Amino acid sequence: MKIKMLGTGSCVPSLRRMSPSCLISTGAGNVLIDVGPSVVRRLLEFGFTAADVDVIILTHFHPDHTVDLATFLFDCNYGETKREKPLLILGGKGVRTFYRRFCRLYPWIDPTGYRLTIRTLPRGRLKLGTLSIETAPMNHREESIGVRLEENGKSAVFSGDADYSPSLTDLASRADLLVAECSHPVEKADGHLNLPVLLEIVDQAHPRQVIMTHLSPEWEHFNGFLPPPLLLGEDGMEIEL
């Protein structure tokens, strides 16, 4: 399993960090977690296209996590290579309604030459070949989910936007990698983690490695100490499990 950090920023525009998104390459295909602004272009920068993605997981519906879904699906219909292989979009409560409303706004994104499956999985497990996908509700919005991917004895957990919850600590328990939002070093915003709360989650869940994402511009001025196993995420960072 290989994790590529496509973006590690937040909803605040930044020249250094794109909105949070990850591409996970597995034996069962490529999984794209969140599709915020310019993700399709970022895929190209790292040698991928929309045609290479097999599964899209939307952790919630805020624009910094979903707005480039229109570009992605438009490219599937009208890009250089018209998509033919199936695509699965997975999300929490209301994902089918979200997609239908997206299509009303952009009718050109409805598939013309491939099979699209929209699946609601607010809590549960899905098996795709060698890959296991587990989801659990997160403390952010009604539809918010965190994701745990497992393959060949390795596990990676993605919090999406989330505040503290037992659901998050359970999902991240003993994971090889936790990609966790940490919007601010000190300031605490509702529905989001800061460094002290993230450290509490790490102390309870014991992940082997933690990559911090959804980083506000405030982090660019951080001069403090990050104890192991925490690492500040960077766009383009790659982790192989």
For residue 105, which phi and psi values (nearest 5 degrees)? Answer: -75, -40
What is the pLDDT confidence band of residue 106, given thresholds at 50, 70 and 90? very high
pLDDT of residue 81: 86
Question: Hey, what's the torsion of the CAs at 194, 195, 201, 203, to 10 degrees?
Answer: -170
Vertex 167 angle, CA 126 and 197, to 5°: 135
| pLDDT tens, residue by residue, 35-93 | 999 999 999 999 999 999 999 999 999 999 999 999 999 999 999 989 999 999 999 99
- Find the distance separating the first CA and the last CA of the chain, reported in whole Å: 5
pLDDT at 136: 98
pLDDT for the residue 126: 98
Residue 50, number of CB atoms within 10 A of its CB: 23
Query: Which DSSP state fits 153?
Result: T
Mean pLDDT of the chain: 97
Tell me the fold of 2-240: Metallo-beta-lactamase; Chain A (3.60.15)
Domain parsing of the chain, residue ranges: 2-240
Quote the pLDDT of residue 142.
97
pLDDT exceeds 90 at position 226? yes
- How many Cβ atoms from other residues are within 10 Å of residue 57's Cβ? 26
Tell whether the model's pLDDT for residue 8 goes beyond 90: yes
The pTM (predicted TM-score) of the whole model is 0.97
Helix H or strand E segment including 45: helix 39-45
pLDDT digit string, tens, across residues 166-211 = 999 999 999 999 999 999 999 999 999 999 999 999 999 999 999 9
